[in-house]
Amino acid sequence: MKKYGKGRIKAVFLALFMCFGMFVQAQMELQAELDIDKEHDIENDNRLYFHDIALERGVYFDTRMNSDLSDGFVTSLYGSHFLTHNLGVRSGISLITYLKDDSPYLKIPCLFAFRTPTFHFSNWEAESFGEFLFNLFLAIIPTRCEVNLGPSIGYVWNNQRNFASSIDGNLRLGFQIWRIGINGNMGVNCLWTRNFIDKDSINRFRPAWFVGFSGGVSFRF
């Protein structure tokens, strides 16, 4: 009985030792996976931030060079929510002024958004001056890219057609420093409600295509 009892104790200790070893191995494998994910998150920061808010200021004008419409100014406040690492929605409010006399144009877009991860350049080793210039070019080009497409609705004051609606397409390029971004936005809008009149054109033409260029700052969270 004593031998049998000692055997059981040894078996219990052996089982406990094996369980402890399996636990340590599992913890080591889990830590290795977390380290890999952490490195991956550094390379693809879209896995860390799914929202941002941006303030931008720029110009907005008719695509025809001989238009009676003036070059307007656009001020925008945008926010985004990404459902996945790359796909999301962007909305906000834009105020366009001085496009036509005293007819401010307020619009609210609802845009589909696709973004790329931030490109981190870290290779400064160069064997020639030409390679150094190429590395310098890679370091100063925009590190983020986002494409937006979708409809917008708006209101034009002091105008025969107050309700406005358009289809907007934007290309957003930017430099990312931690959570702060410096952005440039190039957009094309099809204003299918044709709210503005070009008095210098024949039959008082109402243009539909407008272009905007703006820049600003953003904060990710």
Rounded to whole angstroms, the Cα distance separating 156 from 188 reads: 19
Is the pLDDT at 40 greater than 50? The verdict is no
Rounded to whole angstroms, the Cα distance separating 42 from 32 reads: 16
The pTM for the full model equals 0.72
Q: Which stretch of 27-36, 105-114, 135-144 has the lowest confidence by average pLDDT? A: 27-36
pLDDT: which is higher, 116 or 144: 116
Percent of the chain predicted with pLDDT > 90: 42
Rounded to whole angstroms, the Cα distance separating 213 from 161 reads: 25
pLDDT of residue 39: 47
pLDDT of residue 213: 96
Q: C-alpha distances in angstroms, 16 versus 13, 23, 24, 30, 43?
A: 5, 10, 12, 21, 41
* Average model confidence (pLDDT) across the chain: 80
Phi, psi (degrees; rounded to nearest 5) at 154: -160, -175
pLDDT: which is higher, 134 or 72: 72
Q: If we measure between CA atoms, which residue out of 32, 193, 30, 180 comes closest to residue 105? A: 193
Tell me the pLDDT tens digit for each residue of 80-103. Answer: 999 888 899 999 999 999 887 678
